[in-house]
Amino acid sequence: MSPLAYVPWLDIFLAFLFLGLVVLGFWQGLLKEIWFLISLYLGTIVASLYGDFVGSLIQRQIGSQGPEAERIASAWGFLISLVLATAILFTVLYLLLGHLKLRASLLALDKVGGTALGLVSAVALTSLTAFVLKALLGSVNVPEWAFVGVLQRQATTSPLLHLFDSTRSTLLATFRFWLPELPTFLSPPAP
């Protein structure tokens, strides 16, 4: 067995992502974290509308067919659309509102509020990442890529992946009313 298999890569990645987003919330403060959550929400709307389209473009370029290829392409399309839309929207919000600052007397509120909203964004983004990872690792079969095989084996036993994936029904029930449609990879598979 490869030495790569003994390191819990998925757990390390998800833990660093979660903790990094909480620390980023503290560092950015309340206002920038509010802008980030607004841009993340708007980016999720854009990704839910156009993620399957971007995924179908990816699927056509790769040339694979079938329901599993469609779910993988949908996950990639959603991820690419989400990252691009969120980054663009956050940049626009920052350029428009970046000059706003809280007074020095509100610095403690800024940091505590930023940390609290950082925790909310960390749960949301880490859960979305877990959904995408589960969709990608659950159906990829590339025997030449040893690391992908290691990640696939770890996906079945990773406690953090299962923890964040267990929030799927709660997050989807909460946000379903605010999203125009769900991407294919988040929809339950057809029987």
| 161, 14 Cβ separation under 8 angstroms | yes
pTM comes to 0.77
Q: Which domain holds residue 147?
A: 8-184
Asked if residue 43 is part of any domain, the answer here is yes
Asked if residue 176 is part of any domain, the answer here is yes
Residues 6+ apart with CB under 8 A from 127: 164, 165, 167, 168, 171
Residue 191 in this model has a pLDDT that exceeds 50: no
CA-to-CA distance for 47 and 55, rounded, in angstroms?
A: 10
Q: Return the minimum-mean-pLDDT range out of 7-11, 23-27, 30-34, 112-116.
A: 7-11
Asked if residue 146 is part of any domain, the answer here is yes
Asked if residue 30 is part of any domain, the answer here is yes
Give me the long-range contacts of 98-105 (CB less than 8 A, separation at least 24): 100/31, 101/31, 102/29, 102/30, 102/31
Residue 92 in this model has a pLDDT that exceeds 80: yes
Q: What is the pLDDT of residue 187?
A: 67
Residue 88 in this model has a pLDDT that exceeds 90: yes
Highest mean pLDDT among 34-43, 54-63, 168-177, 181-190: 34-43
Mean pLDDT score of the chain: 82
Count of structural domains, the chain: 1
Q: What is the pLDDT of residue 147?
A: 67
CA angle 116, 118, 123 (to 5 degrees): 100
Q: How confident is the model at residue 152 (pLDDT cuts 50, 70, 90)?
A: confident
CA angle 87, 90, 96 (to 5 degrees): 140
Asked if residue 191 is part of any domain, the answer here is no
Asked if residue 115 is part of any domain, the answer here is yes
Asked if residue 117 is part of any domain, the answer here is yes
Give me the mean pLDDT over the 44-53 stretch.
Answer: 89
| 167, 127 Cβ separation under 8 angstroms | yes
Nearest partner of 59 among 80, 88, 30, 35, judged by Cα: 80
Residue 171 in this model has a pLDDT that exceeds 60: yes
CA angle 166, 51, 44 (to 5 degrees): 60
Q: What is the pLDDT of residue 3?
A: 67
- In the chain, the percentage of residues whose pLDDT exceeds 70 is 87
Asked if residue 3 is part of any domain, the answer here is no
